[in-house]
Structure 1
């Protein structure tokens, strides 16, 4: 059951990182704010890699050929998910954007069932649907009959896109880590994380170098507010990778939705954003579905 405290740590690191990343929009555009987590996270991952496998001479897993396309796909999915998430924040606000991403609860369950053969139990699917109703209500907080008219809400669409990206990334990380055989859990998680961050830093960095060099320079210029994002990103990513190495991606990502509670606390007390009662009730329904998936899935 070690995956439970590790997942809770991952959720805490993630919501703190996302909040700091949201604040970076004062200095950086969406693409550059997304790149920060790879630009500053990858060097730190390399340090952890060197300490583990060079200093302590731990067993280094040998990746099979299938490891590379899986982890590359996971890395690209996470890049696109991060960009969609930041865009959702921009269109609405931090807490509501965070809740839209909770469509990941169903999406990661579907991806896990199809790609990894790890489906939820029947009651787990019911709880996941409850979670989705909460998300729909959040898209139309005044009355649920507005859901159809709000289906094309750009913030909702970006949040769902982010959820899909993160679901694919979670399943890909588990699949890549499992392909490394019977090496110790930490070793497999660290190799998987370092490889993914390297790919992400290369792809996103090359894209900025080719099409938005001013944004790339801004990432370096604003290193002081950006550095904590890198630290929190690495800590959160390491915990996620370790957790999905220990158990199914659907269980890990569902339990991780406790970050929703943290999101509203940060939104109210740190970012000074205000929300209506209906939005809190809808978010509570999302959390009820999350708890149901954890307990019954």
Structure 2
């Protein structure tokens, strides 16, 4: 993976952790997610007229991803209603890189030993952050991890077929943001209006963050093996750890800091030349 791509994916990881923290910090996790996705959809609608349509071969993959993304956002909101970010986030993100790498291997994507080692270490480190938590809290985050792995593979293929990863990403955010917004308008119109008035700035920042983060990730997947990009993107857990400790005021045990060191070792291996 070129150094420029490597560094951009790390930026995407930081942005991803940031929008998750905005959801966790808000008083209503579900409406916070809706405002962020609505902001991303609005931003996409503004930019899309200046971009070409994705290639028609990518449209079925785009449609499948829209359904997966809507389910993912709903699961994220529910996770943060029930579980601390420092617990839910590692479980959600830790399983995805290994699942993605195994699926990519089945489809013929070859990786050097150093890359496999890095992916395994990143996943072990992320999952290590959830050790010591009650297993009753694992169900929803693990279900979300499966959703993440699935939409990652779908979008990696769709972006490669689209001919324009940015256009594909923005269509995805536009189409996936509309159902969540319409549902909230039908079910919680007054609460949504009040939430937007109070938190629209954070929602806009989150919308920019999630759109930019995923656009970078999908572009990177057109330039480098999807398994490596997926693992590197999940280093967002390091940023989430810092946010949890220093911004959200959550207690972070020493073991999670050690697990963070394992993730850093994995990232270093991902940069070892093949």
With structure 1 as the length reference, what TM-score do the two structures score?
Answer: 0.77
Indicate yes or no: 2:103 matched with 1:111.
yes
Alpha carbons 1:67, 1:179 under 8 Å: kept: yes
Which of 114, 138, 160 matches 1:178?
160
What is the SS of the residue equivalent to 2:95? helix
Alpha carbons 1:74, 1:196 under 8 Å: kept: yes
Alpha carbons 2:90, 2:130 under 8 Å: kept: no
Alpha carbons 2:95, 2:127 under 8 Å: kept: no
Deviation digits for residues 187-215 of structure 1 (CA, Å, limit 9, x no counterpart): x0122012211220233234334544455
Aligned mates of 1:246, 1:215 — CA distance in 2: 43
Indicate yes or no: 2:230 matched with 1:239.
no
Aligned mates of 2:5, 2:110 — CA distance in 1: 18
Residue 136 (structure 2) aligns with: 153
Alpha carbons 1:81, 1:166 under 8 Å: kept: yes
Deviation digits for residues 112-131 of structure 1 (CA, Å, limit 9, x no counterpart): 334x5325445644554455
Indicate yes or no: 2:271 matched with 1:269.
no
Aligned residues between the structures = 270
Which of 97, 102, 123 matches 2:94?
102
Residue 25 (structure 2) aligns with: 23
Structure 1 runs of 4+ aligned residues shifted over 6 Å read none
5+ residue gaps, structure 1, are: 54-59, 143-149, 182-187
Aligned mates of 1:132, 1:261 — CA distance in 2: 12
Q: Which is greater in Rg? A: 1
Note the C-alpha offset of 1:273.
1.2
Residue 85 (structure 1) aligns with: 76
Which of 196, 219, 225 matches 2:172?
196
- Equivalent positions of 1:1-297 (< 5 A) are 1=2, 2-24=4-26, 26=27, 28=28, 30-50=29-49, 52-53=50-51, 60-61=52-53, 63-64=55-56, 66-100=57-91, 101-114=93-106, 116-121=107-112, 124-125=115-116, 127-134=118-125, 137-141=128-132, 152-154=135-137, 156-181=138-163, 188-214=164-190, 216-222=192-198, 223-289=200-266, 291-292=268-269, 295=272
Alpha carbons 2:159, 2:219 under 8 Å: kept: no
Aligned alpha-carbon RMSD (Å)? 2.9
